[in-house]
Structure 1
Amino acid sequence: MRFDYDYVIVGGGMAADAAVRGIREVDPDGSVVVLGEDVDAPYERPPLSKDLWRGGEDDPRDPEDVFLGTADVPGVDVRTSTRVTSVDREARTVVANDDDVYGYRALLLATGGRPRELGSVPGAHVVYFRTMGDYHRLRSLVEPTGNGTPRRAVVVGGGFVGTELAAGLAMVGAKVTYLTPAEVVGAATYSPTLARRIEATFEEHGVEVVTRARAQRLEHTGADPVVVHVTVAGDPVTLAADVVVLGLGIEPNVELAVAAGLDVSEDDGGVVVGADLRTADPAVLAAGDVASYPDTLLGRRRVEHADHAQVSGRAAGRNMAHAARGEDLEPYEHTPFFWSDLFDLGYEAVGDLDASLDVVEDWAPGAEGETGVVYYVGTADSGPEGGLRGVLLWNVWDSTDAARALLRDLGAAGSVTGPDDLRGRIPTS
């Protein structure tokens, strides 16, 4: 069948929802359709690995609260379980579910990404964590046995999602083994002080931490649902688990863009857009996880954080409407922040958290590892040499704007000559 809309949004995540709202800020009447491959309508993604695991019996978190209500916006159709298979830029149409054709005046690619996988994985007790469906399935798999015995969970992945899920599963009573390739939990991301603090906190909460570990393959046996074959410091080890959770990062879904002849960045793998979030085709925009955009403070990058999805999605929606109405477009000038919660630990950050950069720690007096700011400074290898690249605010709140201001002031090569240029710039109390 053929359907025609003013605005077609491919993708059903947070960027898509924000784009709907951005369109409506400029054009209250234009027809909009959201074509999402997920079985669920748009929802907030961060609670899936954070808040939904934290509530106890006295303070439950309801998964229904994370849905964004996109279909409630007037004049907006939301179609779930809808896979777009091609884009015809000349005809200004997309094809979905093999034979439905959607015509558009402006098109947004908010296709997000898919989990990286560890080879071929059999069975229902392995979760590549990404969606609301993954959350519900994992939650059911870690429910205690009928006699109250905790389920055994192995969590694989040294990044944000892996650490958050290891903490979350422990908080709901699972017996957790956490595998990380680093020598200390988070060593590739955090300063040495923070990495040690995080690892100690995991161990205090009963998480078995296995460092220098790389999962090689998974298999099912008759007695245990999953066996994980691992190398630890080069030596083979096997672990049995009721469920294995993998948080290995995502691959951006750029196949539609590539097939449509749009440019993809060789550096970050995202769909290349300009400051107005348009691709080389003025009628096609990209936002969220899939977009490679020119950050005004840090240069071209692809960002996988919720703040970017929401703000870039809204900006893309506004620009879709501006373009359709023949109006000037707005530049996307936001450098997003992000956050993480691990048990009772928490932080906000802006920019690049990369421990291979030069790291400067600035702790509140008498509060090392408890309250402070960590600065990440470019090196000759990372470039620009001597420029500030990231700021982590550890138990320091309401300071992301101050962090952006510092990135603006000290981001150029040679701007940071030593630790004294940074310590004290953001108050730690």
Structure 2
Amino acid sequence: MTYDYLIIGGGQVADDASRAIRDADADGSIGILSADQDAPYTRPALSKKLWTDPDFDEGQVPLNTVEDTGAELHLHTEVTSIDREARTVTTADGATYGYGKLLLATGSTPGELDGPDDDRVIPFRSFADYRRLRDLSRSEGEDARFVVIGGGYIGNEIAAALATNGVRTTLISPDDVLLGSKFPPALAERYQKLFADGGVELLGGHHAESVTYSGGAFAVLLDDGTEVEASVVVEGLGAAPALDLARDAGLSVSEGVIVDERLVTSDPAIWAAGDIAEYPDAILGRTRVEHVDNAQEMGAAAGASMAGSEDPYDHTPYFYSQVFGNRWEAVGTLDPSLETLEVDLDEDRTVVYYLQDGAPVGVLLWNVEEARDAARQVLKDAPTDHDELRSRIR
């Protein structure tokens, strides 16, 4: 089977790219090859809304890509190689698919610890992972202890979600104070208090080394030799961009697959978008971003570019997280070792500017709504006067 447009990866990028292609080309054939067992879905809901919004259920997670665009979706399909000369790709089961234009949207692979292959040890990433964890949270009993490893966005959100739903939860984080590697000290303490007040047991300043199983329970081994007993283990250890396919195909790869302003790789018939794409951002410079805003906007831009658009990808993405009813958003670099300027708008809302050589390189918005464009403009203008900065986002 040969497609006019072939997409490798079945996530958010595939959905937005398919929609943009169909908007520009009513007749071109679209194929999506996905290693997932589910059709494209909204990934942020897996650690947020599905746990916190009683009016949002699993039926609202799928993005309805096939129904809306007519794309042909092949699930449980792992692509193992690309033949650029023949313009074909080969899958793990030996099937071959041809393409006129190819989009790489292979996303990221979650980190995992050494340990048993067990349904109660979950490297959290997919819709299937959510369903498994949700079932366990309901079936393990009130004395069960769920141990979440990793103090980043996913680990923190899952720990908050479990605790909010009455699950006994322990969170192991490498930061002494949660998100102390991203937030200035006072805000990190404020953030951590949300978890302590929410009933999460916190074990900060530790790395988990491995998971073992004995006597009907799991044990998480920490870097100081301590073992933490668990009924269920959730690994929120971050994720690495899936670059091997592009690298093995001979495409230019650095921290990500290198693309130009139209998201074209070093091969003019191949595009890349989402987690794997290293692109020239108009404000941040050449970078790679792993958050949903980038996946949506870049997916749409890649699809339009594949269908003939000459417009550059000029969106600077933001990232966000939400726990215990508090939402934070950010644009740019969050590094508390930089000089920071904190502006309290009121007792609940704070703006933090991260400064390098006196100019802002990152903006953190704590419970500040509808200010992402203002944050982007601050980074673009790069004012160095503190009084001016204090007045920019109110």
**Runs of 4+ displaced beyond 4 Å:** none
Q: Aligned partners of 1:66 and 1:358: how far apart in 2? A: 40
How much has 1:236 moved relative to structure 2?
2.2
Q: Aligned partners of 2:149 and 2:340: how far apart in 1? A: 26
- Residue 382 of structure 1 corresponds to none
Q: Is residue 360 of structure 2 the alignment partner of residue 360 of structure 1?
A: no
Give 5+ residue unaligned stretches, structure 2: none
1:28-427 matches, cutoff 5 A? 28-55=26-53, 59-145=54-140, 149-224=142-217, 226-231=218-223, 235-265=224-254, 269-322=255-308, 329-365=310-346, 367=347, 370-378=348-356, 385-410=357-382, 415-416=383-384, 419-427=386-394
Give 5+ residue unaligned stretches, structure 1: 323-327, 379-384
SS at match of 2:207: strand
How much has 1:286 moved relative to structure 2?
0.2
Q: Aligned partners of 1:339 and 1:66: how far apart in 2? A: 19
Q: Aligned partners of 2:173 and 2:379: how far apart in 1? A: 30
- Residue 381 of structure 1 corresponds to none
Q: In structure 2, give the amino acid aligned to 1:23.
A: I
Deviations 1:192-242, CA, capped at 9 Å, x for gaps? 122111111111111111111111111001231x111113xxx32111111
- Residue 18 of structure 2 corresponds to 20
Decide whether the 8 Å contact of 1:144 with 1:150 is kept in 2: no
Decide whether the 8 Å contact of 2:171 with 2:203 is kept in 1: yes
How much has 1:339 moved relative to structure 2?
1.6
Identity level (%): 47
SS at match of 1:178: strand
Q: Aligned partners of 1:223 and 1:89: how far apart in 2? A: 51
Q: In structure 1, give the amino acid aligned to 2:343.
A: D
Decide whether the 8 Å contact of 1:143 with 1:151 is kept in 2: no
Deviations 1:383-402, CA, capped at 9 Å, x for gaps? xx333221111111011111
How much has 1:144 moved relative to structure 2?
4.7
Q: Aligned partners of 1:150 and 1:311: how far apart in 2? A: 43
Decide whether the 8 Å contact of 1:150 with 1:173 is kept in 2: no
Deviations 1:323-382, CA, capped at 9 Å, x for gaps? xxxxx52100000112211112112222222222222110025x1xx212111122xxxx
Q: Aligned partners of 1:425 and 1:28: how far apart in 2? A: 44
Decide whether the 8 Å contact of 1:142 with 1:150 is kept in 2: no
Decide whether the 8 Å contact of 2:184 with 2:340 is kept in 1: yes
Q: Aligned partners of 1:404 and 1:364: how far apart in 2? A: 18
SS at match of 2:225: strand
Q: Aligned partners of 2:216 and 2:24: how far apart in 1? A: 59
Q: In structure 1, give the amino acid aligned to 2:238.
A: G
More off after superposition, 158-167 vs 117-126: 117-126
Q: Aligned partners of 2:211 and 2:73: how far apart in 1? A: 37
Q: In structure 1, give the amino acid aligned to 2:30.
A: V
Q: What is the RMSD computed on CA atoms of the aligned residues?
A: 1.4
Give the structure-1-normalised TM-score: 0.89
